[in-house]
Amino acid sequence: MPSDLENMLVVGVASSALFDLAEADAVFREHGEARYRQYQEEHLADTLQPGVAFPFIKRLLSLNNLSDGAPLVEVIVLSRNDPETGLRVMRSVESHGLNISRAIFMQGRSPYEYMGALNMSLFLSQNEADVRIALGMGFAAGQVFGSPAMDPDGTDLRIAFDFDGVLADDSSERVMQAEGLPAFHAHETEHLEEPLPEGRLFEFLRGINRIQDIEEARVSHDPSYNRRVHVAIVTARNAPSHERVVKTLLSWGVRVNDAFFLGGIEKARILRVLKPHIFFDDQLGHLESAADVIPSVHVPFGVVNEAARRDTGQGQTAGTETSGH
C-alpha cells in the first residue's frame, strides 16, 4: 500500500545542507567530475560530518517518537548527485542514525520541482539559485549558512522565524521600503483587522503546530511533561505594528510560543540567547551578525531581495551543489 504523505510534515533537504561537503566540492571544482567520482568512491566508507541543517533535521525526526502510529515527520534527501556518488550520502545518513530512507538523486539537476508531488512544506539547500527558483514556483525554500547548533545531546527543538517575507507575505514590507517607518506604522494601524496574506513558510509552521498539539494533549494528561518543540518570532516590528502580527496569526489559526518585537535592535542579541536550532529570515543583514553561532536560513523572497539583486546585478554566490552535487 503506498505511503500517505498528506498527514505528515514533509521536509526536503539537499545533501549539502545536511552534511559538510566542502572537501568533496573542492575536488569537483578543481579537478572535474571524473576525479570527484573517484574521490567519492575512495571515501565511500568515510562518514560525512554534520552540516548546518543537521541538528535541526535530527531533532525534527526525533519527534516521530511522539506518535504511536504513523510517523509525524518525513525527511527526504534531494540531491544533485547521481545515484552512484549519492551512496556516500545515504551511508552517512545511516551512520549518523538518521531515520531517512527516501532520496531523489538527479545528476547535475535540482529535484526541487518534485516538492509538490511529495507534499513538502520546506526545502533547504546551500544552492541559492535552486532556492530562488523553488520560491518562484510557490514553494517554501531557504538557503542555509552559518554553523550547526552546538547542543547535540538534547531533545528539544527551537525554531525561530522572522515574520514579514517569511511567515507572511511582503505586502507590508513594500510599504516600509517605499514610504518609510512612520508610513509603515500608520498603514499597519489602519489595516489592523485585516490579516496579512500567508507567506511561503506558513504551511511549515502549521505542520509544526500539529506536532505541538500532540504535546499539548500530553501536558493535559501529565502536567509534568516538558514540551520539546518551541517556536518564536523574532521581528524588527515594534508597537504599534506588532498588533497586526498577533491578529494575523490568530486569523490563520496558528501560534507561536514567544514573540520578540525588537524595533531595530540587532536580532543577533536575542538569537545568541535564544539559541534556535534554525532561524529563518528574508534579510541577509539580520542573519550575518549571528551566523557564526546560529544555524541560519535565508529566504530570498520579496521586495528586499528584489532590490538587493538589482543593486548587485546578480544573486549571492551559490554554495555547494552548484556544480552538480
**Mind listing the pLDDT tens digit for each residue in 182-229?**
999 999 999 999 999 999 999 999 999 999 999 999 999 999 999 999
Task: For residue 37, name the pLDDT band (cuts at 50, 70, 90).
Answer: confident
Q: From CA 51, how far away is CA 286, in angstroms rounded?
A: 21
Place of cell 549571492: 316
Return the CATH architecture of domain 9-145: 3-Layer(aba) Sandwich (3.40)
Asked if the domains 9-145 and 157-300 are classified in one and the same CATH topology, the answer is yes
Q: Which residue has the higher pLDDT, 246 or 321?
A: 246
Known catalytic residue at 162:
yes
Indicate the domain borders of the chain.
Answer: 9-145, 157-300
Cα 310 → chain centroid: 25
When pLDDT is averaged across residues 132-136 and rounded to a whole number, the result is 92
In this prediction the pTM is: 0.91
Among candidate residues 130, 162, 169, 170, the one labeled active-site is 162
Are 265 and 199 within 8 A, CB to CB?
no
Return the CATH architecture of domain 157-300: 3-Layer(aba) Sandwich (3.40)
Q: From CA 278, how far away is CA 234, in angstroms rounded?
A: 12
- Residue 120: which H helix or E strand, with range? strand 120-125
What is the per-residue pLDDT for 173? 92
When pLDDT is averaged across residues 230-241 and rounded to a whole number, the result is 96
Q: Which amino acid is at 152?
A: P
Q: From CA 85, how far away is CA 267, in angstroms rounded?
A: 39
DSSP 294: S
When pLDDT is averaged across residues 57-86 and rounded to a whole number, the result is 91
